[in-house]
Amino acid sequence: MANHCNGNSDHSESFVKIPPIKFTKLFINGKFVDSISGKTFETVDPRTGEVITRVSEGNGEDIDLAVKAARHAFDHGPWPRLSGSERGRIMMKFADLIEENIEEIAALDTINGGKLFALCKVMDVPSAAKTLRYYAGAADKIHGTVLKLAKGLQGYTLREPIGVVGHIIPWNFPTIMFFMKVGPALAAGCTMVIKPAEQTPLSALYYAHLAKLAGIPDGVLNVVNGFGSTAGAAISSHMDIEKVSFTGSTEVGRKIMIAAAASNLKPVSLELGGKSPLLIFDDADIDEAADIAFRGIFFNKGEICVASSRVYVQEGIYEKIVKKLVEKANAWVVGDPFDPRVHQGPQTDKKQFEKILSYIEHGKREGATLLTGGKQLGQKGYYIEPTIFADVKVDFLTNSGET
């Protein structure tokens, strides 16, 4: 059985001072504003299942307002007309501000998404700054091509910003994915409307605040909190959005493609989930292979699109690998993600928590062998023991369904 550390919010204060929540509204045209409907929704701390705060709930009307701001900023504002080096300079300032606020941003992703505070400080948030700097450096290196044509003619290609883009961010890496999408769009000179995952909106709103401080003009970067079925659907089908980028489930990706095609045939970039297999053969180093297999699924509490959630091991080393994996699971510390001793925090939200527990029950009913784990840890919060099944058949839900 995995070790468990206390996950209550009072206990966290002994490790780090949790900052107050500063931004809960929509960010449109350079200002934090209430939603048109006045509606709000709860954002929950997965360590306890308790409400952190309420954030404004945007819908189609708010998306439309944000798109109008982005459209005006693109058609008439300075951002697409700045030189690439000037856009890059402002993006560099944005990156500097992120680094100056690492502690606060990391704490937001920890209380909102259950991510390990220490890992956010050394990986997620610094990665955001590095991504911005990478694309800032690319902003003045957008080149076309000169082509030699027939009869002494020459042609050339010119790369231009596509216009207003919509970004729909997942909940498992709210910081990293925010800048994987926003970075190149800013560098190209695009303006944008961003919908963070409804589970993890807090860091996105903080980044909107920093964008304003960095000097990104009003209307260029807009953040609309909301749900996929309303705000996300409005982005996908909006006639004045020229491109959509989405990271999330295959099911929702299909819906976005359909909406994009049915509206203005906007191009769509999709990064979707799956059930990634890991193959281990007899000539592998046992310790290294077991470590890769274990971290491949339990890193970020398994909430990663490329998690190696299926492991196929050749017969000659099968028993040794299984033994190693069970030992690692039993030594894995689950608990308060602010605690530096902890390896795994809570699942991001109640829905994901219940989905994983339902898959575990499916595995038991289908006849797979539960080697370790399989239960909730603690009395509150969304903690689950590291769980390993053996004897899983190809048609079992635990082998085919993405958790």
* Angle at which helices 174-188 and 84-100 cross, to 10°: 160
Does residue 10 have a pLDDT over 80? no
Q: Is the pLDDT of residue 220 over 80?
A: yes
Kindly list the distances between the CA atom of residue 177 and the CA atoms of 246, 248, 353, in Å, as whole numbers in the listed order: 10, 11, 22
- 333-377 confidence digits (pLDDT tens): 999 999 999 999 999 999 999 999 999 999 999 999 999 999 999
Q: For residue 275, what pLDDT is reported?
A: 84
Whether residue 278 has pLDDT greater than 70 = yes
pLDDT at site 254: 97
Whole-number pLDDT of residue 13? 62
Model pLDDT, residue 5 = 64
pLDDT beyond 90 at 129: yes
Tracing tokens 């350079």 back to the chain, one arrives at 30
The one-letter code for the residue type at 90 is I
Residue 1's pLDDT is what?
60
385 or 7: which leads in pLDDT: 385
* Position with higher pLDDT, 403 vs 181: 181
Average pLDDT, the chain: 95
User: What pLDDT score does 310 carry?
Assistant: 93
Place of tokens 């091991």: 313
Classify residue 395 as exposed, middle or buried by CB count within 10 Å of its CB (0-12, 13-18, 19+). exposed
230-254, pLDDT tens digit by residue? Answer: 999 999 999 999 999 999 999 999 9
Looking at the annotation, which residues are catalytic?
A: 271, 305
For residue 105, pLDDT beyond 80: yes
Confidence class for position 2, pLDDT limits 50, 70, 90: low
CA 249 → CA 171, 191, 252, 288, 399, distances in Å?
A: 11, 25, 5, 31, 17
Is the model's pLDDT at 46 over the cut of 90? yes
The proportion of the chain whose per-residue pLDDT surpasses 90, expressed as a percent, equals 89
